[in-house]
Amino acid sequence: MDVNMKKLKKNAFRNSKVRGETASRIRIPGGVINAKSMAKIAEIAENYGNGTIFVTNRQGVELPGIKMEDIPVVNLALQEIIDDSGVNQEERGQGYPAAGTRNVAACPGARLCPFGCYDTTAFARKMDKAIFPNNLHFKVAFTGCSNDCAKVRMNDFGIIGMTEPQYDKDRCVGCEQCVKYCQKRSVGALSMVNGKVVRDTDLCIGCGVCVAYCPTRAWTRSKEHYFRLVLLGRTGKQNPRLAEDFIKWADEESILKIVKNAYAYVEEYIDPNAIEGKEHVGYIVDRTGFDEFAKWVMEGVELPEKAEVTSRIYWGGKRYDRSNNLK
């Protein structure tokens, strides 16, 4: 069977080591799917795959063992799942129109976790709507607080939830629970002064631990949602590294704009000889310099007054010895 592998991969089917077989890669933005769609996934796996489902580390699923000739009928069967997940699509019944931009991942966030500062799934789905479909190699992930359960610092763009804790001194009974847990579970930004709690605004990372542990609700979350945006973490073969802080106290619209701007930057500077048109964003920044990248991504962005922006980022991480000199 003559197969166009480039077209196959763009349609979100994976190359397989088993001749004549492939695996369908199903996108689940924000990591949440309803039970009806999950049942449909199981049905497709039973009818067209080998009866197994692989849960990926980006919160999507893959259905291995699909015959190449069954791809058109599998794409038709996927339509119900695509509709339920709200993923953008160019043509109904044709499956997923791109695969380069990976599934947008998220921790459970405020939907479930008491430490979650915002609805991570809702923001992840909004981001997916803004950037997908696209075959540029982007990884975006969301986490509800500074615990970073979603490991967003291993992504090109990581969004960490923040809150500006609101203190009502009249509700405070001086139990020091917030002070104790800020020291144990965060950065020690709280202290007791004359029987009342004082927050060091320069040290506070907006994690909301004080809110979670206050028994009298003297501490509450701010009505506004804030975010820490970290940039250009990566694993892989070439110089893996963790993402570094770019903006603190950012707003949702600014982050959406920054990520969308990054696509224009990559389209301008991507290596034309990159394999299958894919090149990690971080490699391009290494080549053009951070200042050029920052100029592109901040185009038209209006940050809130509270936002703090890093003027220059330096990445550490593993640097491979290209000279084979072990001295």
The domain defined by 5-85 carries CATH number 3.40.50.150: no
Instruction: Tell me the mean pLDDT in the region 257-282.
Output: 89
Report the pLDDT value the prediction gives residue 159, as an integer from 0 to 100: 98
User: Does the pLDDT of residue 68 top 80, yes or no?
Assistant: yes
Task: Report the mean per-residue pLDDT for the chain.
Answer: 91
Q: pLDDT-derived band of residue 1, with 50, 70 and 90 as boundaries? A: low
- For the stretch 169-187, pLDDT in tens is 899 998 999 999 999 999 9
For the segment 234-251, what is each residue's pLDDT rounded down to a tens digit?
Answer: 888 878 889 999 999 999
Q: Give the pLDDT confidence of 290-311 residue by residue, as tens digits.
A: 999 999 999 999 999 999 999 8
Which of 86-95, 103-112, 138-147, 317-326 has the weakest average pLDDT? 317-326
pLDDT of residue 327: 44
* Secondary-structure class of domain 166-220 per CATH: alpha beta
The domain limits of the chain are 5-85, 115-160+226-309, 166-220
Q: What is the pTM of this model?
A: 0.91
**Contact in structure between 145 and 115 (CB atoms under 8 Å):** yes
Dihedral over alpha carbons 207, 210, 216, 222 (to 10 degrees): -30
Q: Which residue has the higher pLDDT, 323 or 130?
A: 130
Q: Residue 95's pLDDT is what?
A: 94
The DSSP result for 63-94, as a single string, is EEEEEGGGHHHHHHHHHHHHHHHT---SSTTS
Per-residue pLDDT, 272 = 86
Are both 5-85 and 115-160+226-309 of the same fold?
no
Give the list of residues 6+ apart from residue 77 with CB closer than 8 angstroms, or none: 40, 43, 44, 47, 48
> Which residue is listed with tokens 């970290």?
230
Question: Rounded CA gap, 260 and 131, in Å?
Answer: 6
> Which of 205, 302, 315 minimizes the C-alpha distance to 255?
302
Q: Answer yes or no: is pLDDT of 323 > 60.
A: no
SS3 per residue for 213-253: HCCCCCEECCCCCEEEEEECCECCCCCCECCEEEEEEECHH
pLDDT at 318 over 70: no
The CATH code of the domain at 115-160+226-309 is 3.30.413.10
Q: pLDDT per residue over 211-234, tens digit each?
A: 999 999 999 999 999 999 999 998
For residue 326, pLDDT beyond 50: no
Give pLDDT, residue 310: 92
